[in-house]
Amino acid sequence: MSTPAETPAENSAQNPAQTPGPVVRARGLELRAGGRTVFSGLDLDVPAGATLVVRGPASAGKTSLLLTLAGRMRPTGGELTVLGEPLPARAGRVRRRVALAEVRGVNELDDALTVEQHIAERLVLHRPWHRPWVTAEEVAEQLRRVQEDLARTAGGGPASTLRAREFVSDLQPLERLTLGVVLALVGRPDVLVVDDVDSLRRTEDRRRAWTSLAALQETGDLTVLASCSDSSDIPWRTDDGRILLDLQDEQ
Ligand SMILES: Nc1ncnc2c1ncn2[C@@H]1O[C@H](COP(=O)(O)OP(=O)(O)OP(=O)(O)O)[C@@H](O)[C@H]1O
């Protein structure tokens, strides 16, 4: 069951002149799966450039909700529009504009591949069908841009670095989450989904992840849909347009 979205930011009422319409609009959204109601009666408006933080205990339905908003799961009731596209009818269009960072069990990184192999693979996915390859220079250029972004979004702390030849199996948790975000951003999506920030065990890593996500958004109109079980690590400000949605476990 969901409780109404709470908006800590006083300015959550966006200026309509700057915001043509919410990126996510849900009314009475419901998902039933496996003989249970995962969530129901959910109303939500997420403006462009905002961050939605879905918070709740294990099995509350956070991943399911994010995947539903990303056009990857079919809601069983209510109304849902993402980027102006009704779901599930226009799920294909939504999927092209809403990118997932690593979601365990859905698009897991391959432990046996290196950082640069993952980047090359993702670049190829975004190439036209008649030119399905990338050069080593293009991969290196993408990695260089990534390092610049990481330095810029480090939030005053030391930047994460991604080493081209490192295997995913050897990445630290924050580096792995970072790689997932980097890969998601290759296609320049309008919306980025980051599930389960609490998979980072170290408080310092979670803080850096939230800070970096906020900094990323300052560079454009990226809307972030994220989830966690404990939001106490989020460096909340009163003016950063974050929307907090609590999900409770429901049988
Ligand atoms: N396709 C499905 N088939 C059956 N049950 C499902 C399906 N999708 C979701 N569920 C149910 O929804 C519940 C919520 O799962 P979900 O992964 O969304 O929760 P969560 O809040 O992300 O949990 P966690 O923090 O543990 O990952 C699961 O316990 C499962 O029972």
Nearest CA to ligand 1 atom 24: 58
* Mean pLDDT score across all residues of the chain: 85
Long-range contacts of 83-89 (CB under 8 A, 24+ apart): 83/23, 83/190, 83/191, 84/21
The complex's ipTM works out to 0.93
Does domain 10-246 fall under CATH 3.40.250.10? My reply is no
CA of 63 to the centre of ligand 1 (A): 7
* Burial class of 224 by CB neighbour count within 10 A (0 to 12, 13 to 18, 19+): buried
Please report the pLDDT score of residue 71 as a whole number: 97
Answer yes or no: is pLDDT of 42 > 50.
yes
Is the CB of residue 155 less than 8 Å from the CB of residue 212? yes
CA of 251 to the centre of ligand 1 (A): 11
CA of 52 to the centre of ligand 1 (A): 19
pLDDT, tens only, 50-83: 999 999 999 999 999 999 999 999 999 999 999 9
Amino acid, res. 128: P
- Write out residues with Cβ below 6 Å of ligand 1: 33-34, 36, 38, 56, 58-64, 196
Range list of β-strands (E), the chain? 24-33, 36-46, 51-55, 77-82, 85-87, 98-100, 191-194, 223-228, 242-246
Answer yes or no: is pLDDT of 250 > 80.
no
Please report the pLDDT score of residue 11 as a whole number: 36
CA of 62 to the centre of ligand 1 (A): 8
Q: What are the structural domain ranges in the chain?
A: 10-246
Query: Hey, what are 199's tokens?
Result: 């998979």
Distance of CA 192 to the CA centre of its chain: 4
Please report the pLDDT score of residue 155 as a whole number: 59
Is the CB of residue 248 less than 8 Å from the CB of residue 3? yes
Q: State which H helix or E strand residue 139 sits in.
A: helix 136-152
Please report the pLDDT score of residue 242 as a whole number: 84
Gap between the Cα atoms of 11 and 240, Å rounded: 8
Q: 235 vs 29, which has greater pLDDT?
A: 29
Nearest CA to ligand 1 atom 29: 59
**248: CB partners within 8 A, 6+ apart:** 1, 2, 3, 56, 57, 60
Distance of CA 164 to the CA centre of its chain: 23
Task: Identify the CA nearest to 216 among candidates 163, 155, 171, 128.
Answer: 155
Task: pLDDT band for 17, please (50, 70, 90 cuts).
Answer: very low
pLDDT, tens only, 163-198: 889 999 999 999 999 999 989 998 899 999 999 999
What's the Cα-to-Cα distance from 163 to each of 126, 152, 171, 186, rounded to whole Å? 22, 17, 9, 17
Q: Which of 62, 69, 249 to mutate to test the pocket of ligand 1 (most atoms within 8 A of CB)?
A: 62
Query: Hey, what are 131's tokens?
Result: 């030119």
Nearest CA to ligand 1 atom 2: 33
